[in-house]
Amino acid sequence: MIFSSAILIFAILFFVLAWRRIDWAMYLTIFCLPAYGVRFQIFNLPLTLLEAMILILFFLWLARGGYKRIKLVIRENKSWFFLIGVFLIAATISIFAAPDLKAAAGIWKAYFLEPILFILVFLDTVKSDKDFRKVIYSLGAIALVISLFAIFQKLSGGMFVPENYWLLGEGHRVTSFYSYPNAIGLFVAPIVILMVGLLISDIQYPIAGSGSVKYWLWEIGYYLLIAGSGTAAIYFAKSDGAMVGLIAGIFFLVVFLIHRYLAKKFSGRKKTITLITYYLLFIVFFLIVILSAVKFLPASARDTLLLRDWSGQTRLTIWKESVEMLKNHWLFGAGLSGYQAAMAPYHQAKYLEIFMYPHNIFLNFWSETGIFGALIFFAIVLKFIIQGFKKKYYWAPILMASMVVILVHGLVDAPYFKNDLAILWWVVVGMMIKTKSFYDSRRNN
């Protein structure tokens, strides 16, 4: 009774906020992404608190004039919404390829339909660089809460950590508010790289985007706090995929910024020669780093990078069995929420459980949405990257670095198929879509 009353009161207050300020309701929804863990039912329809917030937000946006602007939002981003529409169609078809129609419909609603409803509101509501920063502040705030609780778990000796992750075999891994450690890295790492990117940008272009020294210093401190605590939380969670993703994201930022600097400093034939030389040197440097890592890193770190440890061998086994399954289900995959059932006849490594997903971003989408859905997903990623390279806004490389983190981590995990992760991914994509609308004032001051 108390739980139901609390949910009702929160929903009413959120309704009032959304009616008065749709933008602040959107920022609050972003801050409350982990609220998918609060579950309840309305007329036997299962819902999470996050879903309820998204649905209230979307329908109030429609009621407050969104129905008039929805065509404009789509028309302004035709090519994007063509891909988004086809992506949703592929996911819808996958409902009927699944063994459990009810479970598949729930996944479709939470991971595909609702994120797209949210992104419609997002694209109409975010109108300026200041709105971008409010989105980042919201993401940063929830990442900070998650990270500080993870750090508390570590310092307190494992308080509130499930026993199997602290005492039994997993080696003192923290989980924060989640039920497993890697959830921290999946959610926090893409946000950490956003903070690192903005930190570099604010140092490179001081005051110009902030308006005053005091506000600029506050921003620098905020970004440092989130980046530092987030990295610590990922380290304490022992999320190797997230750490490698972060390193890849930072590496991408450095390479991209040097490219921008050289492209701006030189022109004509000299610019072409300079950039070719730069990338040849970069490739040589990259190979040296890789070879040095393989040779000089501690044995445990080498085993992790080369997938020779227990976690890596487990993933190799999962991938091998998943590929065997997909050979016979190549067109439609296993259907939404159908992976475990489809894998049963192909599962030979009986010492392992059948996981929910193959733990590889391409195999995840192929299994869940069929080959068509997987290809469309990567078509969206490709368009994201192409737009990022075309745009000269300081947001573009930062957003691309965040996508790099997601994709690199996605090589060994499932960075989309969870309520908060699906929304986070679409927020990053939505911000890239909006970059074409903004004038890069910092570079012209």
Dump pLDDT digits (tens) for 246-274. Answer: 999 999 998 988 888 888 888 888 888 88
Determine the average pLDDT of the residues in 92-113: 95
Find the helix or strand (DSSP H, E) in which 256 lies: helix 240-265
Determine the average pLDDT of the residues in 293-305: 72
Rounded to a whole number of angstroms, the CA Rg of the chain reads 22
Contacts of residue 174, defined as CB under 8 A and 6 or more positions apart, other chains included, come to 150, 151, 153, 154, 158, 161, 165, 166, 181, 184, 233, 236, 237
List b or e across 115-132, with b for residues whose CB sees 16 or more CB atoms inside 10 angstroms: bbbbbbbbbbbbeebebb
Q: Which of 16, 42, 76 is the last residue of a domain?
A: 76
- Domain limits for position 71: 1-76
Show the CA angle centred on residue 162, arms to residues 156 and 167, nearest 5°: 70
Q: Which of 144, 152, 179 is nearest to 163 (CA)?
A: 179
Is 30 in the same domain as 104? no
201 belongs to a structural domain: no
CB 345 within 8 A of CB 382: no
Is 87 in the same domain as 113? yes
Structural domains counted in the chain: 2
33 exposure class (CB count in 10 Å sphere: 0-12, 13-18, 19+): buried
Is 67 in the same domain as 22? yes
The residue with greater pLDDT, 304 or 29, is 29
pLDDT at position 44, please?
80
pLDDT at position 210, please?
52
Q: Which of 55, 76, 97 is the last residue of a domain?
A: 76
| Span 355-399, pLDDT tens digits | 999 999 999 999 999 999 999 999 999 999 999 888 767 788 999
Is 330 in the same domain as 426? yes
Is 358 in the same domain as 390? yes
328 belongs to a structural domain: yes
CB 226 within 8 A of CB 144: yes
CA distances from 429 to 81, 168, 179, 381, 421 (A): 12, 39, 27, 8, 12
pLDDT at position 2, please?
81
Is 350 in the same domain as 410? yes
220 exposure class (CB count in 10 Å sphere: 0-12, 13-18, 19+): middle
Is 84 in the same domain as 66? no
Is 94 in the same domain as 66? no
| Span 202-227, pLDDT tens digits | 877 665 555 577 777 888 999 999 99
188 belongs to a structural domain: no
**Pairwise CA distance, residues 329 & 239, whole Å:** 31
For residue 308, give both structure tokens: 């020779």
92 belongs to a structural domain: yes
253 belongs to a structural domain: no
112 belongs to a structural domain: yes
CB 384 within 8 A of CB 429: yes
231 belongs to a structural domain: no
Is 398 in the same domain as 433? yes
Is 349 in the same domain as 403? yes
Determine the average pLDDT of the residues in 71-78: 91
pLDDT-wise least confident of 53-62, 157-166, 365-374: 157-166
Is 359 in the same domain as 430? yes
Is 63 in the same domain as 100? no
Q: What is the reported pTM? A: 0.93
191 pLDDT more than 50: yes
Where does the pLDDT of residue 156 fall: very low under 50, low under 70, confident under 90, or very high at 90 and above? very high
